[in-house]
Structures are given as C-alpha cells and as structure tokens.
Amino acid sequence: MSSAAEVPAPARFRFEDSSLAIKLRQNVGLVTAIALFCVIYLLYHVAHPKGFSSAVLVQNGDEIFTLAMVAMAQTVPVLAAGLDLSVGALMTMVGCFASYLLSGAPEGTPINLDLGGLHLVLATLPGGTTGLIVGMILCLVIGTLAGLLNGCVVVFGRIQPIIATLATGAIYIGIALFLRPQPGGKIDDDLNWAMTNSLGDFASTVHIFNDGAAPWFAPLAWIPVPFVLIILIAALVWVPFRRSVTGRAVYAVGSAEGAAYMSGLPIERAKIAAFTLGGFFAGCGGLFLAIQTSSGNADLPQAGAYTLNSIASVVIGGTSLLGGSGGAIGSIFGAMILRVISFFFRIFDIAPLLQPLFEGIILLAAVSIGALRMLRVRNTLELFR
C-alpha cells in the first residue's frame, strides 16, 4: 500500500480510481435503487395502455408523494441509528389538523378549542389565499414540533428511540382521533386541484404565468406538481441539511457514537435535529394526504402501514438500519419502487391480496444485497459488533 520505493507507475487514467467511481462504489445502494426504479417504471409505462401520458404521471405522483415524504422522515432518525415508529401517526395527525385549517372559507377559519365546558377562540385564520398559506405553514409547524418532541423524549428521557416513538406515536394518533373521530373536514377545492395535478393546472389555478399559457411555460406544463414538490423539498431541505455540521453529526452518531463524542461533536443536538427534521417531512406527507383526499381521517391501520412501508423504503433505498450510511434521496426511490410495484397489480389485474407477498420478496432481495459484505469479514466476532 505504501511502498514508495517502487517505480512510480505511468500516470494512466484508471476509472476505478476516479472520484466518480469512488462515489458510485460508496453509494451502491442508492445507484441500485435508482436503476431498479428506472427499469420497473419504464416497464410500467410500456405495459400501461395510456403509458407515458401526463395523466398517468399525475396519478402516480399523487400516490407516491406521501410515502416518499414519510420515507424521508424515517431516514433521518435511522441515519442516527434510531428508528421512528411515530412517522405514520404524526403524518395522520397533521392531516387531521389540515382538514380544519385548510377549508379556505372566505370569511376566515376560526381556531376553537372545546374541552368539556371550556370554549376558547384561540385565533382566526384569514380567508382566501393568505389563510391557506398560513394554514399550511401551521400544519408543517405542528409536524416539526411533534418531531422535536420525539427528539427531546429520546435525548432527555434517555429512552430508546423505538419505544419512545411507539409511545409518542400513540399520542399523535390519540390527538388525531380526538380531532376527527370520523373521517371528515374539508379542503379548499382550488388548493386540492392546484397541488394534485400538473404544473399547467397549478399555474391556471393560482393565475401565474399568464394562467399557464405563457409560451416558455408550455414545455413544462405536463410535469406533475407532486414530483416538483419532492424535488424542491429534497433540494431545499435535505441537501442543505446533509451538508450542515448538524447533518454531518447525525451520520457520525449513527456511524460510531463513541468516536463522535471523542471528536467533540454535538451528539444531543444531532439526535434532536434528526427527529425534528423527520417530523417536518412526515408533516409534509400528512399535509399532502389531506389536500389530496380533501379530508382528514384518523385511520389507525393506514398510519401503521405507512410506518412499516417507510422502513421498507429506507432499506430499499440503500440506507443501513445500523445507521451512518445512506440518505433520504435513496429513500425517495425506495418509496417509489414500493408504489410502482403496487401499480403493476392494477394494470395486470392481479389480486391485491398477493401484493404483500410480492413486496416482501422484493424487500428481501434488496436487503440481501446489503448483507453480501458480511462474506468478506475475517474476524467473525466483528459480525456481532
């Protein structure tokens, strides 16, 4: 490795030594997930009678968005070697809040608190677009605060993440049930239409770019809004976080907590930040689900399914459950892979009952790739560390 005495080899370019090759090797999980997604999504469009159309893309985007967000939410605590069992519940709770806050009533939305005999008017959201924007921000703040609570319970309560979030998740579902004992509520129709269709529909609804008729805008009009949102959130929230000192500390904590401490990193801040950011992402998912379904629904089985699928997405996306390696981009692709598999069931008209079976097989195959490195371990005791 360090035999300097050897005659230096002629400076010949070798791909396996290049920066690109190193990056590819280090992100083999992400690359595999992207490749797998591209293949199956292409097959899906080929097999679909209306494949490669904006309508199909829009429909897919709507179905993918929430799981992609919840998967991102799960990724951050997993990177810090924790597991967040509350992501589905948190998403559901935010959705229930949204079903109150985003009615878009022109006279404004009062925020009341009725507890037994107590009746409090806390504030009134203004009507119209301003009210909707404030309402959406409020929903995201609620999600973020719930994530912050998770982080504080884990760090200051010194409770293992898996049990701490099991408890807080039950609390969030409880709040959701309190808010929406039955499915209901209302979301502003324009908001629903603008967020769940193509960019062209968005522009015409909110009256920008000459109602979407601007010539330069035409080539972009087919792009579904949910995909744009995923890219925006990833680029504006995840990428800067990953490049921040706190983000780095999250990876460090998951990789080797002792070494992170010895390097003087802010371990507690990193853990709290991981759960808080997870809360924000899950809040985005809950907000979108409410907008998409135009209602709030404290659906317990659905919350559980989202939590489990988020873990599956994280693993398929190449993030190690042991922490320290991977990232939220991979999880987005993991979520998309899971969803596209279910799309196939529709076009091939296979019994939906078989879906869990196939999803399970694909999950196993994805996880097995990660286990291959175990074959190279020379000191078998290291397998258990």
Among 12, 19, 117, 364, indicate the residue that binds another protein (CB under 8 A).
19
Q: Would you give the distance in Å from CA 21 to the centre of its chain?
A: 28
- The residue among 119 and 243 lying less far from another protein, judged by its C-beta, is 243
DSSP assignment, residue 9?
P
Instruction: Give min distance, CB of 12 to another protein, in A.
Output: 16
For residue 121, count CB atoms less than 10 angstroms from its CB and return exposed for 0-12, middle for 13-18, buried for 19 or more: exposed
Rounded-to-integer distance, Cα 84 and Cα 271, Å: 12
Q: Does 13 bind another protein (CB under 8 A)?
A: no
Q: Does 354 bind another protein (CB under 8 A)?
A: no
Q: Does 4 bind another protein (CB under 8 A)?
A: yes
Among 124, 147, 251, 310, indicate the residue that binds another protein (CB under 8 A).
251
Instruction: Give min distance, CB of 335 to another protein, in A.
Output: 23
Rounded-to-integer distance, Cα 261 and Cα 258, Å: 5
Largest CA distance in the chain: 88
Instruction: Give min distance, CB of 284 to another protein, in A.
Output: 21
Structure tokens at 196: 């769940």
- The residue among 147 and 324 lying less far from another protein, judged by its C-beta, is 324
Q: Does 37 bind another protein (CB under 8 A)?
A: no
Nearest partner of 326 among 80, 133, 94, judged by Cα: 80
Among 22, 218, 232, 350, indicate the residue that binds another protein (CB under 8 A).
22
Q: Does 236 bind another protein (CB under 8 A)?
A: no
Q: Does 185 bind another protein (CB under 8 A)?
A: no
- The residue among 112 and 244 lying less far from another protein, judged by its C-beta, is 244
Among 48, 186, 248, 269, indicate the residue that binds another protein (CB under 8 A).
248
In a 3-state reduction of DSSP, which class is residue 346? helix
H or E element: which one contains 118? strand 118-125
> Which residues 6+ apart lie within 8 Å of 212 measured at CB?
199, 200, 201, 202, 203, 204, 221
Binding mask 310-329 for another protein (x = CB under 8 A): --------------xx----
Q: Does 381 bind another protein (CB under 8 A)?
A: yes
Q: Does 234 bind another protein (CB under 8 A)?
A: no
- The residue among 156 and 178 lying less far from another protein, judged by its C-beta, is 156
Q: Which residue has the tokens 């993918």?
A: 64
Instruction: Give min distance, CB of 383 to another protein, in A.
Output: 10
In a 3-state reduction of DSSP, which class is residue 224? strand
Among 35, 43, 259, 308, indicate the residue that binds another protein (CB under 8 A).
259
Instruction: Give min distance, CB of 323 to another protein, in A.
Output: 8
Q: Is there a contact between 73 and 281 (Cβ–Cβ < 8 Å)?
A: yes
Side-chain half-sphere exposure of 322, counting CA atoms within 13 A: 9
Instruction: Find the length of the chain.
Output: 385
Select the span of 14-22, 37-45, 140-148, 309-317 touching another protein (CB under 8 A). Answer: 14-22
CA angle 201, 310, 291 (to 5 degrees): 30
Q: Would you give the distance in Å from CA 97 to the centre of its chain?
A: 19
Q: Does 2 bind another protein (CB under 8 A)?
A: yes
Among 148, 265, 311, 363, indicate the residue that binds another protein (CB under 8 A).
265
- The residue among 124 and 263 lying less far from another protein, judged by its C-beta, is 263
Instruction: Give min distance, CB of 34 to another protein, in A.
Output: 20
Instruction: Give min distance, CB of 276 to another protein, in A.
Output: 17
- Residue 47: what residue type? A
Paired with 113 in beta bridges are: 120
- Residue 29: what residue type? G
Structure tokens at 108: 């404004």
Q: What angle in degrees, to the nearest 10, is found between the helix axes of 19-26 and 28-47?
A: 80
Rounded-to-integer distance, Cα 340 and Cα 300, Å: 24
Among 53, 129, 182, 244, indicate the residue that binds another protein (CB under 8 A).
244
DSSP assignment, residue 218?
G
Q: Does 353 bind another protein (CB under 8 A)?
A: no
Report the interface residues with another protein, using CB under 8 A.
1-4, 17, 19, 22-23, 26, 240, 243-245, 248, 251-252, 254-256, 259-265, 324-325, 377-381
